Amino acid sequence: MLRILTFAAIALLILLRLARTRFGARLLGIPQRVLEIVFLVALLLAGVLAVLFEQWILLAVVVVLLVLSLIEELRRRKDRSARAGTGRSSQHPRSR
């Protein structure tokens, strides 16, 4: 039973990861920032439960998803600061 719950938690985390894209936010009608917060809370809860119930596969998935989220956030901040420094509103110039 615990194994089934572990795989269900992994599937839910992956679905939440996919839902926090622009398309997912638009499809669900929820702001993307809210989906990001829900995803991080779900990761935290899943990580705590994985440690408590000694589900190391779930813990590994949580760590991987957390690292990917951290990398994405660092890239977003780097892009924002680069755009603010150059004064452009878009990183890619328009071509006709």
Q: What is the pLDDT of residues 69-92, one digit of tens each?
A: 999 989 988 988 888 877 655 555
Give how far the C-alpha of residue 6 lies from the chain's centroid of Cα atoms, to the nearest Å.
19
Please tell me the distance from the alpha carbon of residue 51 to that of residue 16, in angstroms, as a whole number: 21
pLDDT at residue number 12? 93
Please write the tens of the pLDDT for every residue from 6-15: 999 999 999 9
d(CA 94, CA 72): 24
- For helices 32-52 and 56-86, what crossing angle results, to 10°? 150
pLDDT in tens, 13-65: 999 999 888 888 899 899 989 999 999 999 999 999 999 999 999 999 999 99
| Closest residue by Cα to residue 59 from 14, 11, 10, 19 | 10
* CB of 28 closer than 8 Å to CB of 35: yes
- In 1-96, alpha helices (H): 2-19, 22-28, 32-52, 56-86
The residue ranges of every structural domain in the chain are: 2-64
pLDDT recorded at residue 89: 55
